[in-house]
Amino acid sequence: MEIDLGTGAKGFWAFAQQEPDKLALVDPDQRHWSRGELLAEANQLVHGLRAQGLQAGDVVAALLPNCAQYSALNLAVTQAGFFLVPLNWHLVGAEVAYILQDSGAKAFICSEHTADAALAAINEIGFAKDKAFALGSVAGLGRYHDLIANQPVTLPDDRAVGAVMFYTSGTTGKPKGVKRAVAQVDPDTSAIMFTMLLSLFGIQPEQDNVHFCGSPMYHTAVMNWSTSSLHMGHTLIMHDSWDAEKMLQAVEKYKITTTHVVPTQMVRLQKLPQEMRGQYDVSSMTHMIHTAAPIAPDVKADLLQWWGPVIYEYYAATEGGGAIATPQEWLANRGTVGRPWPGADIKILDDDGNEVPQGEQGTIYLLMNDLTRFEYRGDKQKTESNRINDYFTAGDVGYLNENGFLFLCDRKIDMIISGGANIYPAEIESVLITHPKVIDCCVFGIPDEQWGEQIKAVVQATDGTASGEQLSAELTEFLSQRIAKMKLPKSFDFIEQMPRDPNGKLYKRNLRAPYWEGHSKHI
């Protein structure tokens, strides 16, 4: 596969050395970091970690909120030959302990905000406390400040390419690290290669581009897009949580040009009052890019009217990708998640591994190439079970239309089988979310003696909206005019807050599991 590094391609380290005073990052506390300051922090981290005995190939785990130091740590490991394992700060101590142990981490960085889980994990597995450091003050742990204090701010000797090893969510068992071989190039060339995904969308180096990050950096896409933006010489505006109006305020204040969002965040934007939408100038935005889950076509169409033709979609997983849909392609193939980007390929296969005809549903398989090939760390069986030859699957179901555009139906594990018919919850959710009284929703199957499964809908309704029988009847009437009778939920539950993480990932298993206690359905 040929790699076009493009004109103006440099990578963060080169940008920072050439223009050290230019703004690189605004952190959640509104501190402005110049390129030179961020580079110095990254370099000091390399020297500090090496002083702790870390060598190329060793793992550094991080349990951190969004902060400039998180970006600096990424920039450190990827020029020192280390692996960075970002940890979800919603995890409890035992879950953190598992990943620390499974990854073989040699150093651990946390913060005051994540101290409880960090300390519980350290104590559970006996992790060396002299190799654990905290932003702020955490009793018994070293201080991040001391890790980098008095270390040189210069580029380290013996620079080597490192990488981030993300852990999958563990929906079907313990999470596994997705580990790829590092490129056999120097860190600067690797950084430029890292920006290829942005280039696929037509995003260029510098050109006064400003990227907004409002989701947790432990998420694969968030970390990758933020780091790629820095390597393109873009300014990074970082929030520690996502809020629809605060995003609009940031877009207007900083003239933000690019951002990466998930469908839940797009729904929050779409449901803002019209008068609030009109208060903010969002004309600077050129690329609002989304992925992670299907989005209701009506929601996306409304946002396209509001923001203009700047909303791009792509399909990928932690393990790789992928497909892209430009705004124009989506409008011409409403509901698509795109078609294969250069060097990628998609196949739709049946349960026997055979390709299905165009337009028929099956399991989505994506091509692995030399850059995307991966393994699940320490799990050869899982590595081999999700692939056929050079193609792997994330377990999603979909189909290709006559133009080669991919459409998602749902995840195979979420499919409802009722009376022998396959019903995809995502299709129902995409209609239900458009009701004005629905803020969020989730649809899944629950046991039914006659039909095998029946459809359950869980709804987070707008503040002050009556729930119970009245709203259930209203939602049923609304859906009955838009989807087939066989797809109508048989019952509704109402919940104050849907169990999602800040990236919009829904913990559907938490909602579904109580109904299947004592039953054989794999949840």
Domains in the chain with CATH codes: 422-516 (3.30.300.30)
Of the pLDDT bands very low, low, confident and very high (cuts 50, 70, 90), residue 186 is confident
Of the pLDDT bands very low, low, confident and very high (cuts 50, 70, 90), residue 148 is very high
pLDDT tens track for 49-88: 999 999 999 999 999 999 999 999 999 999 999 999 999 8
271 burial class (0-12, 13-18, 19+ CB within 10 angstroms)? middle
Give me the pLDDT at residue 4, please.
43
Q: Is the peptide bond before 322 cis (omega within 30 degrees of 0)?
A: yes
Choice among 12-16, 30-34, 375-379 with the minimum mean pLDDT: 375-379
315 membership: H or E segment, kind and range: strand 311-317
The residue with greater pLDDT, 345 or 410, is 345
Q: In whole angstroms, give the CA distance from residue 32 to residue 417.
A: 53
Question: Could you tell me what percent of the chain has a pLDDT over 90?
Answer: 57
Give me the pLDDT at residue 273, please.
92
Q: 451: Cβ–Cβ under 8 A, 6 or more apart, which residues?
A: 418, 419
User: Phi, psi (5° rounding) for residue 84?
Assistant: -100, 130
Q: What is the mean pLDDT of residues 396-407?
A: 91
CB atoms within 10 A of CB 135: 20
Q: What is the mean pLDDT of residues 112-121?
A: 94
User: Phi, psi (5° rounding) for residue 250?
Assistant: -65, -40
Give me the pLDDT at residue 408, please.
82
Q: In whole angstroms, give the CA distance from residue 72 to residue 90.
A: 22
Three-state DSSP class for residue 45: helix
The residue with greater pLDDT, 230 or 241, is 230
Among 396, 313, 384, 312, residue whose Cα is nearest residue 347: 396
The residue with greater pLDDT, 155 or 397, is 155
- Contact of 487 with 427, CB cutoff 8 Å: yes
448 membership: H or E segment, kind and range: strand 438-448
Among 400, 325, 330, 336, residue whose Cα is nearest residue 362: 400
Indicate if the pLDDT at residue 378 is higher than 60: no
Most confident listed range (144-148, 164-168, 465-469, 508-512): 144-148
Q: What is the mean pLDDT of residues 19-33?
A: 97
Token pair, residue 449, equals 């003696």
Angle between helices 68-80 and 220-231 (to 10 degrees): 80
Of the pLDDT bands very low, low, confident and very high (cuts 50, 70, 90), residue 143 is very high
- Contact of 82 with 49, CB cutoff 8 Å: yes
The residue with greater pLDDT, 6 or 96, is 96
Indicate if the pLDDT at residue 382 is higher than 90: no
Give me the pLDDT at residue 192, please.
85
Give me the pLDDT at residue 170, please.
46
Give me the pLDDT at residue 172, please.
44
Among 220, 100, 74, residue whose Cα is nearest residue 161: 74
Q: In whole angstroms, give the CA distance from residue 307 to residue 434.
A: 19
Q: In whole angstroms, give the CA distance from residue 520 to residue 399.
A: 29
pLDDT tens track for 292-342: 566 778 889 999 999 999 999 998 765 556 889 999 999 999 989 999 888
Indicate if the pLDDT at residue 412 is higher than 60: yes
pLDDT tens track for 197-221: 888 899 999 889 999 999 999 988 8
Q: 19: Cβ–Cβ under 8 A, 6 or more apart, which residues?
A: 35
Q: Is the dihedral of CA 216, 217, 219, 224 positive or negative?
A: positive
Give me the pLDDT at residue 1, please.
29
> What residues form DSSP beta bridges with 465?
none
Q: Give 506's DSSP letter.
A: B
Give me the pLDDT at residue 508, please.
80
pLDDT tens track for 303-312: 999 999 999 9
Q: In whole angstroms, give the CA distance from residue 191 to residue 78.
A: 8
Indicate if the pLDDT at residue 425 is higher than 90: no
Q: In whole angstroms, give the CA distance from residue 311 to residue 306.
A: 11
Indicate if the pLDDT at residue 108 is higher than 60: yes
- Contact of 377 with 177, CB cutoff 8 Å: yes
Angle between helices 297-307 and 263-270 (to 10 degrees): 60
